[in-house]
Structures are given as structure tokens and as C-alpha cells.
Amino acid sequence: GQQVMQIPQYQHVQEGEDFTTYCNSSTTLSNIQWYKQRPGGHPVFLIQLVKSGEVKKQKRLTFQFGEAKKNSSLHITATQTTDVGTYFCADLTGNQFYFGTGTSLTVIP
């Protein structure tokens, strides 16, 4: 299957600090989706990016798709304790969803 790498694997931030996770693929992605998985929970869809260079915002979350459609990023401004969880990017290729390696975010109050 596909391998989509994410960095960092883990991130600890103080509440109020910003956080960014990066998703990188060796191949061009048709589109990319982002999911959040709370500890002990199941992944929940956040957003989908389709166009080259696309930027979407959801309140404190900013999602970006690279110009070459090989990378993507999720940036959280002023993290809160509710942001704790693992963030995954996912690649939809040929009707199959492959998940990135994930970034686990811990927010220290």
C-alpha cells in the first residue's frame, strides 16, 4: 500500500502555543484528507483538500495542500487542551484510503 509519512511523530506543547504537523508523500496525491483521533476514540474527519496550493481554515486550524500535491500541513493556532489527540492525513488512491503515520499531540495546561 501507499506510505505517507508524517512529522513529527509526537509533539508536546504548552497550552496557547502553536502546533504544526506535516504530511509528505513520494507520489502525487489526488486529494488529501485530515482526521483527528482522540485517545481511546475513533478517527473523525476534519477536512479534504483537492486543489494544488489549496488553503482551508476551520477556526484555529489551517490546512494547506502543497503546490506539487505531494505534501500537506495542518497548523493549529493557540492550542487548547481539547486539541489533544492524534492527527492523521489520509490519501484516497483508487477508492482506498491510506493513512499517514500520524502525529500525536499533547497539550500541557
Count of residues making up the chain: 109
User: Are residues 56 and 31 in contact, defined by beta-carbon separation less than 8 angstroms?
Assistant: no
Closest to other proteins by CB, 75 vs 98, is 98
78-18-24-101 Cα dihedral, nearest 10 degrees: -80
3-state helix, strand, coil in the chain (%, to 5): 5, 55, 40
Shortest Å distance, C-beta 45 to other proteins: 4
Residues contributing to the site for other proteins (CB under 8 A) = 1, 33, 35, 41-45, 48, 88, 90, 95-102, 104
Give the nearer residue to other proteins in terms of CB position, either 20 or 104.
104
What's the burial of 33, exposed, middle or buried (CB within 10 Å: 0-12/13-18/19+)?
Answer: buried
Residue 20 Cβ vs other proteins, minimum distance, rounded to whole Å: 18
Question: Minimum distance from CB of 96 to other proteins (Å)?
Answer: 6
Q: Which is nearer to other proteins, 77 or 101 (CB)?
A: 101
Shortest spacing between CB 19 and other proteins, in angstroms: 18
